[in-house]
Structures are given as structure tokens and as C-alpha cells.
Structure 1
């Protein structure tokens, strides 16, 4: 595509050595990725300013640069814009032909449960004979192609490429997790969302956003900035999210379990077994003016193939989103029943003489939900192997311990092992000394006594050794425990080779802890 074609839809404030006839095949913010055919986007950051590298990208042969202030000393084509991140999103959408406009796009944000809800909604859409793509924390599906995710919401150029590939594969919809970082950084600003949802809110990413209020504003923007041709789905059981009702041009569809004024309700809950069931109750028809669609009144029995009381709230959110997108109420049930859970989200890895669960245990709310669900289960002793959160700051680590502590007295905890996952994580997830110290200090203050075993292999072996018949093992922690399932099941299979196939079955097609590189874009490999 020519540079001039890109800017037919996007305003320029000022230009320097403008060359509209130049051909482009890559839009990137990485100076080292620049080459002939590349358009460089200079983004000012908190620690690094992309404008520092303009000379480097010129030397590497970049065709032009998007900047917020022009450096007239360089013989480089530069286009000045008010916000280079926002421009990057718009340019990426233009480059790939606005592919999201041709499909039904569901955008999901929440402090907890984004991945679970996205997989469950994906199952509903498949059960209703749709062909959805998937973009999220665990994996990305572009038709028959499955990729490991590097971040919850990709950067703008990669994101729009994914939509292009989905459209080219004939997919009719996409279920997408939208992180607070992506919202703050305008990565998804030019995604044509048809349905957006905000499902719960609690403390998280404070070190990243600077304050709880900044985190809230980033999250809430998915709803407040939704278009008049979309539907906003919100959870009225969350007091703060409730305040967003009507604060958008979108039509609203609400749900709740405790909030009897919600449009969608869950009643007759059954949550004690390995699956959950409830009745989806819609007391009155709901007209969604922006999309000229009516959600009918009625009551429909639902069963979800996954355990835990929190599963009902997630299922209710999915029902609301699917109905907002035009799925009929009677077509919800097959996908909910087929849903079997998500990797590392209260996942049952092994059920034999003892049980092994795996949960990402990301923040206070997630921890409370998981431990509350555990308190309803039947077991002798609970043994926990917890990965300390790395590169997330001392506040998060202190808060996570404080969230665990009140549950320990009732959970019959045997061994509580903490690990730093030494040598198993990339730089972005390394546990720093001050984070380890904060975790241990808060544990002592709360009356807990974790055993620190820094290497993950040794920690996994220790927790497995602790389990007796009737016990429960919980592998807990975010990125640091992504390899935990593979390690504990492999070790268990070595001890019981006669059951190897059965024990290792959950690792089939597993994404967490695996490195699956994205195949290079043909245009990006051209030199």
C-alpha cells in the first residue's frame, strides 16, 4: 500500500519530506524491525521515547515515520500527528481494510474471568453453528490455525492482521479479550465492536496504571466509548459497574444474580457437583434500539460442563452477550453444556486417589473466588504450590497474601509452598528481591508459614510428595505457574507408568507454558 493511500482517512498535522508514493508493507513501533517498506511509529513512553530512534530507523531504510514532533535535521519522511499510538491503530485498520467491520465482534473486559468468559462464549457461538475466531490471554484462533498468545490484546498492527486472517478464513465472528493496557494504549481503538461487556472490577494493575481510578477509567472506556450501533452488557451485581448504565451511546443489556432489576437473571442455582445448572430468566422483553433487536422474555434451563459457583455468573454474562449478538435463547444451551473449562482457570488436571487443580490466582478477587469455591469441595487436606508474582510490584504481592489469609483457617491447609520459578520465566515475569520479601513479610504478618522453594521443579515435587488419598493439590499463580501442569503430570506419570496416557491427557493441545511462534507474515519477510 502507498503511504498516501493510508492517509486518505487520517488527518496529518504537519509533514516533512512527505513522499506519498512510497510503498509500505509493515507498520511497527520497533526500531530494530525497520527496513525498506517499513513505516515506523515513534511512541513516547514512560521510560523510552520512540523519537530517540529516528536516526536509527532512517539508517535501517524505513520509508517514513509517524511522529508527535518532527525532527527537521533528518532527511526522513515524517508525518506529525497529535497521538502516534492512536494513529498507529487507525493506520493499521486502513492497511488491512477494516476487517473487523465484516464480522460480529464481542469485546470482553473484567478484572477476573475474561479468559473463562471468552472460551465459554466461543463455545456458545460454535454450538449455535457460528464460526468464531478467538483472541485472548491463552491462545488465538484464526480459523484452523491456533497460536499461543504473547499478550492478552496484541498491538494494533498485529491485531488488525489477525482480523484480516479471520475474514480471509471465512469466520463470521470474533470473541476478544480487551485488557486495560490495550484500552489505555488505544490498541483496539479501531476495532468495530458489536457487543462489549464489563463483568467485574477490583484492584489490579495499580503499579502499571498508577492508581485505582486510572485503572477504572481504562476499563470503563470499553463501555463509555462504545458506538450507538453496539450493545453494552454490564453486571449489575458489581456496584461500580452498575454506575455505567446509560453512560454510553450503546444500547444496554444488564444481568445479575442478586440484582433483581437486571434484564437477565439466574435462578434455581445448583452448584455442588462437577457441573452447575440454573434457569435463565428474562422477566420482560428488552428492546435494543441501536441494533433494532429484541431479547424475548422467558425462562430456559441451562447446564454448564464446569464446576464452581463463579461459573454461573460467567455463564450469565455469556448468555447476555450472545443474546445481544442475535443468538436465540434456545440456542444457548448446547454450547454451555459442551464447555469444559479453560486452561489454568480452576482446571481439574487429575482426579484419582487425590485431586490436582490448576488456577492462575491472579489478584485478590480471583484468589477469593477460587478459595471460596474450594471451601465448598470435599477433601482431607489442601496442599498449595504458589508462584510469587514477578515484575508486578510489591503492592500486588502483599495484597495477594492478604486475600489468601482469611480462608486458610477453614481450608485444612497441609503444605503451603511458595516458589520463584527460577529459570522458568522470561524477564517480564522474574520475581525481584523486593517482591519476594514483600510476599514473605506479609505472609508472616498474616500468620501464614509458606515454605520457600525457589526452583519450580523442586517445589512441584515437594507438593506432590505431600499428597495422600483424599487430598487436594492446588497449583496457583500467574505466568510463573504456567509450566506447573506439565511438570506435575509428567512427574506423576513417571511414578505411575501404567496410567501414563490417562495422566498426561490434559496436556494434549495445551497452550499454557508452550512456545508456539506466530508464522511470519509474508509481507513482513520481504527484504
Structure 2
């Protein structure tokens, strides 16, 4: 891919060559890498800073292996290659990766959920719903990454942006139509899902259990909230408004918002008639206000009863999130 195509929408501060060399805009890049061991001939290497390592320290190794362009946040002396300086190399990696794989997330419907607890359960539920409707499906999460029937063990809850876009590309090649993915707070803070074209996003709960990678609870919340705040106008955001901290997000996104709750009567969807006596909850979903689907059709007020096969009160919130995701995809419970 030509370098200019690869750098589209990348915010560049400046460029530098250590020696006099001529680089044309048609410079061909065959590979993108953020680990020096993955570099090869005609590679664009992106120096990203992690919690334990700084990619700038490995740029020389990447050049020795054939990298011809280095994306940096700080110029590195002694490298006889084109260096492109950016403010945020993680954001640049996400944009470059999406460009390199030709924006694969746009070719499928992607559901992303963030929460302190329940992300894995929710994505498994949506995955099962999509499977029941014979859709070709993908799943990206804490335990596994799945492309149709191909399954591999996950390394990160949400992969690094290059790896994520590579998965999306494989899914596009396999004609996957619907993807369920967990979106962690660290992934949001580290821009791993930047340039991912989400169709439906959800934020279901928040508590100070997983804030080790963040400076404070406020930073942790803001990282998670960015999934909703950055959602596009043609996407949908699902919010559990029994969580008081999530209520303001209704007015902080361009997405079409669908809310639900057990305790909050102002929600789009009200959960009633909860029965926990058998250990496996049953409840009624009441659609109070109409909302549209991704196909443009309208979901009108109605009620339907749900019986779960898994215990726990919180399963009601998880299941409702999955059901609303299905409805927004124009899939109705049967």
C-alpha cells in the first residue's frame, strides 16, 4: 500500500530524514508492525508506549530488520529512515491499521460492550442469539476470539489496534455479518478501538474494582464512558440507567440512545415481574417508548416474558442488554 494511503487521517506533526534521501509519496509499504520482531522488508514500524516498554527503544532493531518508515512521538537520532512524528502514536497505529486492512469493521455489524462486570456474559449471550438466527458471527473477548467456527485463546480482552483490525479483516474475508466484542477500559484509554466502526455500544455497570491501570476512579469512568461519548450518530447506545453515573451519558453522545432499568421508570425499556424463586430468573421486558433498528424499522411498545437458564439477579441486566442488541439488529425474541 502506498504510504500516502496508509497515512490518511493520521495527524502528523512533522517528518524527518537523518540523511539526504528521496522518498516519494508512492513509497510502498508491505507491512505494519508495532513489535520489532514482526518487522521485515518495507515495514512501517509504529513506536507505541506501554506500561512496561517503550517502542522507541526498539526502533533501531525494526530498521535493522527492514523497516523503512518509523512513526514516533519523539524523533530518534541515528536512524537513516523516514521518521513521521505524531502526537499520539497509539491513535496513529489504530488509524494506520484500519487503512492498511481497508476499514474492515465497516463491512459488518459490531456490538461493543463495556462494564466492570458482565462483559463476557453479555457477548456470549448476543453470540448465541446471532447463532440461533443462522448468522455468520465473530466474537472478541477475554477468553476467546472466534471467527465463525474458528476459535483461539485470547491474549487481551480487547486486542491491540493492529491485531484487532487484522481480526476484522479475517472476519470480512469469511463474510462474518455480526460481531460481539468486549471493550475494556484500558483498551479505550490506549486507543485500541479507535477507528472501529461500532453499530451498537453498551455501558451496563461501573464499580471501583478494576482501576489498577488508571490514575483514579474518575479516569476509569471516563475511559469507559468514551465508548458512549464517541459513538457515531448512526449508531445506537444502550445504557442501564439504574446506574446513576450512567444517566448523564444519555445527553453526551450523538448515538441513538436506548435505556433500560428495573428501578428507573424513565427508561425506554422497563423490566418488571421479576421472579427469582426457582434460582433461574424470569422477568418481563416492557418496551415503553418506540425506537428504531439499524435497518430503519421501528420497534413499537410491547411486552414479552423472558426465562433465563442462568442464575443471579445481575443476569437480568446482562440478558436485557443482549436482547436490546438483538432488537436493534431487527432480531425479535421468539
**When the two structures are superposed, what TM-score results if normalisation uses the length of structure 2?**
0.92
Q: Tell me how far 1:14 sits from its aligned partner.
A: 1.9
Partner of 1:16: 16
Point out the structure with the larger strand share: 2
Partner of 1:167: 172
Q: Tell me how far 1:46 sits from its aligned partner.
A: 4.9
Aligned-partner Cα distance in 2 for 1:205–1:307? 24
Q: Tell me how far 1:264 sits from its aligned partner.
A: 1.1
1:48-63 residue pairs with structure 2 within 5 A?
48-63=53-68
Aligned-partner Cα distance in 2 for 1:45–1:317? 32
Q: Tell me how far 1:64 sits from its aligned partner.
A: 1.4
Partner of 1:395: none
Task: Decide which moves more: 60-69 or 216-225.
Answer: 60-69
Is the CA contact (8 Å cut-off) linking 1:195 and 1:230 kept in structure 2? Answer: yes
Partner of 2:309: 305
Match of 1:87 among 88, 92, 101: 92
Aligned-partner Cα distance in 2 for 1:105–1:128? 16
1:347-362 residue pairs with structure 2 within 5 A?
none
Match of 1:318 among 319, 322, 326: 322
Q: Tell me how far 1:326 sits from its aligned partner.
A: 2.5
Partner of 1:332: 333
Partner of 1:7: 7
Match of 1:157 among 127, 144, 162: 162
Q: Alignment partner of 1:119: what SS?
A: helix
Greater Rg, structure 1 or structure 2? 1
Match of 1:121 among 114, 117, 126: 126
Q: Tell me how far 1:232 sits from its aligned partner.
A: 0.7
List gaps (5 residues or longer) in structure 2. Answer: 18-22
Q: Alignment partner of 2:142: what SS?
A: coil
The change in CA–CA distance for 1:220 and 1:173 in structure 2 (over 3 A counts) is same
Q: Tell me how far 1:33 sits from its aligned partner.
A: 2.5
- Number of residue equivalences: 329
Aligned-partner Cα distance in 2 for 1:128–1:266? 24
The change in CA–CA distance for 1:313 and 1:193 in structure 2 (over 3 A counts) is same
Aligned-partner Cα distance in 2 for 1:204–1:112? 9
- The answer to whether structure 1 residue 26 and structure 2 residue 31 are counterparts is yes
Aligned-partner Cα distance in 2 for 1:5–1:236? 42
Q: Tell me how far 1:47 sits from its aligned partner.
A: 4.9
Please provide the CA RMSD for this pair: 2.0
Query: Which of structures 1 and 2 has the larger relative contact order (alpha carbons within 8 angstroms, sep 6+)?
Result: 2
Partner of 1:443: none
Partner of 1:248: 253
Aligned-partner Cα distance in 1 for 2:169–2:38? 21
**When the two structures are superposed, what TM-score results if normalisation uses the length of structure 1?**
0.59
Is the CA contact (8 Å cut-off) linking 2:116 and 2:210 kept in structure 1? Answer: no
Partner of 1:494: none
Partner of 1:445: none
Q: Tell me how far 1:155 sits from its aligned partner.
A: 0.6
Is the CA contact (8 Å cut-off) linking 2:287 and 2:300 kept in structure 1? Answer: yes
Q: Alignment partner of 2:219: what SS?
A: helix
